[in-house]
Amino acid sequence: MMELKFDPRNYRIHTDKNKRLIRKSLEDCGAGRSILFDKDDCIIAGNGVYEQAKELGLPVRIIESDGTELIAIKRTDLSTEDSRRKALALADNYTTDTSIFDVEAILEDFSAGELDAWEFTIGDIDLPEIEIKADSSRAGSVQDKFIIPPFSILDSRQGRWQDRKKAWIDLGIKSEVGRGEELTFARSAQPPRVYEARNSLRDKLGYDPSWDELITYCKEHDILLMDGTSIFDPVLCELAYRWFNIYDGVILDPFAGGSVRGVVASKLLMQYYGIDLRKEQIEANYKNAEDILLSDEPKPYWVCDDSMNVKELFYKDKFDLLFTCPPYADLEVYSDDPRDLSNMEYREFLVNYRTIIQRSCDLLNENRFAVIVVGEVRGKDGTYYNFVQDTIEAFKDAGLHYYNEMILVTSIGSLALRVTKQFNNSRKIGKTHQNVLVFYKGDPKRIKDNFPELDFSDDALFENE
């Protein structure tokens, strides 16, 4: 096999997932596109493909060109309806999506004007204002330093994120345990077909069906129903702790839910305090933490109580980070407890929600961050409550500065199956993101004094697991 040189300035970072999929494509479907290299035998395009082909021992046939003609490859072994041909077409497109740009290298090699000419943008960054200077003392790239680049767009679908998430889940995190089958998405969140089913069932029964009756009916008639519960992303949790907490800082979570946020805190050697109304959830959290955590790691503390009592519960304590993900109004119904925010009409929900935020922020030390994960929710009339803005106003009224906003791009999942009818029937857009809001208590000019420079290039969190 001819030896080519890998591009030392390759602008694509090939994640472990990306490499696995390229290898699978080569093994299952054979070679697809050609790769490209220069007269010095240095690869221009196709570094990832060449790496996997070399490991598999595939031979390389050289076709020389001066760039004035397009080289086309004809696969004589594949017909249009061949299953391997279809798989190759999918792999050709998808493997590109599972690699990521080395943004730092790109910004070092190209001016803002050059990138603008290619219509190359990075999130919502204004490229003309960016000045990147080489630093010989720099250790690793932006993503090595910060685990995930700290941009306003956090794409949880990327290979690096998914690999990190798998590593966390593989520790044994079972955040869904304790969140029983009674946890359901609210009627306002259901796809249109569910509303049609409700109408059919009403006609059949002669009365408005209960939620349990509707769930049973939909399952019996193979009608897609959102009937599980959301699980918090451990990577997002890790980033919040590492980016916005101080070293060994204490974390307050007034809407604890499952075990994820407590377990991640312990693994990062941070003390965590969470509140949740449901006894079975608290018991499941402690069991999951016991199964995962080592003897020398701090144990998370969950208390079964109403978050309205947060100041009474922790009146002796002060916290270094407020991090939480509240109920999205009535999007998910967590219990039939009247104190449960998810059971309340939005107006009552908002009054209690604002009170909990105020009381929690009162327990936060000066010159510290609060991070909250929220998303818009539709009311029974199909329009948004404006929950995100209400959250921002609640923190501002509690005396905190609105400091950062990040958009967490989430997996499309079953939305691809639901969006056609949803959009045609109501013009409701398929929602694939959440809002990560960051607030600061104190003087923002003091941030540099309290939060040191970060560099996780030598991070060894999962080496001994």
Model pLDDT for residues 146-160, shown as the tens digit of each residue: 999 999 999 988 888
Whether residue 185 has pLDDT greater than 50:
no
> How large is the average pLDDT for residues 279-302?
94
Model pLDDT for residues 360-396, shown as the tens digit of each residue: 999 999 999 999 999 998 888 889 999 999 999 999 9
Residues of the chain with pLDDT > 90: what percent? 42
The CA distance from 175 to 260, in Å, is 6
Confidence grade of residue 332 (pLDDT, cut at 50, 70, 90)? low
> How large is the average pLDDT for residues 327-338?
63
The CA distance from 418 to 425, in Å, is 11
pLDDT attached to residue 95:
83
pLDDT attached to residue 129:
38
> How large is the average pLDDT for residues 331-355?
77
In CATH, the number for domain 167-178+227-450 is: 3.40.50.150
Model pLDDT for residues 111-132, shown as the tens digit of each residue: 777 777 777 765 534 443 344 3
Mean pLDDT of the chain: 83
The CA distance from 391 to 439, in Å, is 11
Q: Are 15 and 99 in contact (CB under 8 A)?
A: yes
Confidence grade of residue 182 (pLDDT, cut at 50, 70, 90)? very low
Whether residue 144 has pLDDT greater than 60:
yes
The CA distance from 136 to 248, in Å, is 30
Size of the chain, expressed as the number of residues it contains: 465
Task: Give the residue, 243 or 381, on which the prediction is more confident.
Answer: 243
Task: Give the residue, 360 or 215, on which the prediction is more confident.
Answer: 360
- Domain assignments of the chain as residue spans, ordered by start: 12-101, 167-178+227-450
Task: Give the residue, 199 or 465, on which the prediction is more confident.
Answer: 199
Contacts of 123 (CB under 8 A, 6+ apart): 151, 152, 153
Helix (H, G, I), strand (E, B) or coil at 43: strand
* 7-16, 25-34, 237-246: least confidently modelled range: 7-16
pLDDT attached to residue 234:
94
pLDDT attached to residue 413:
61
| Strands, E assignment, 71-114 | 100-101
Most confident of 16-30, 88-102, 216-230: 16-30
Confidence grade of residue 139 (pLDDT, cut at 50, 70, 90)? very low
